[in-house]
Amino acid sequence: MTKTGILALEDGRVFRGRAWGADGERTGEIVFNTSMMGYQEILTDPSYAGQIVTMTYPLIGNYGANGDDIESRRPFAEGLVVREFSEVESNWRSRMSLDDYLVANGIVGLSEIDTRALVRHIREKGAMRACLSSIDGDEASLIGKARSAPSMTGRNLVDVVTCGDRYEWPNPALDAPAAAHTLDPLLAVRESLASRAGSETFRVVAYDFGIKYYILRYLEAFGCKVTVVPARTSAEDVLALSPDGVFLSNGPGDPSALSEIVATIRQLIGRVPLFGICLGHQILALALGGRTYKLKFGHRGGNQPVKNLLTSSIEITSHNHGFAVDPESLDPAQVELTHVNLNDGCLEGFRHRHLPVFSVQYHPEAGPGPHDATYLFEQFIDLMKAGK
Active site residues per annotation = 278, 363, 365
d(CA 216, CA 223): 11
Q: How many CB atoms lie within 10 A of CB 41?
A: 23
* Inter-residue contact 168 to 204 (CB < 8 Å): no
d(CA 27, CA 142): 9
Q: How many CB atoms lie within 10 A of CB 39?
A: 24
* Inter-residue contact 27 to 145 (CB < 8 Å): yes
DSSP string, 208-227: ESS--HHHHHHHHHTTEEEE
d(CA 52, CA 24): 13
d(CA 303, CA 369): 8
Q: How many CB atoms lie within 10 A of CB 67?
A: 12
Q: How far is CA 177 from CA 46, 69, 74, 181, 187, in A?
A: 20, 10, 16, 6, 11
Say if strands 3-9 and 128-133 run parallel, antiparallel, or are unpaired. Answer: antiparallel
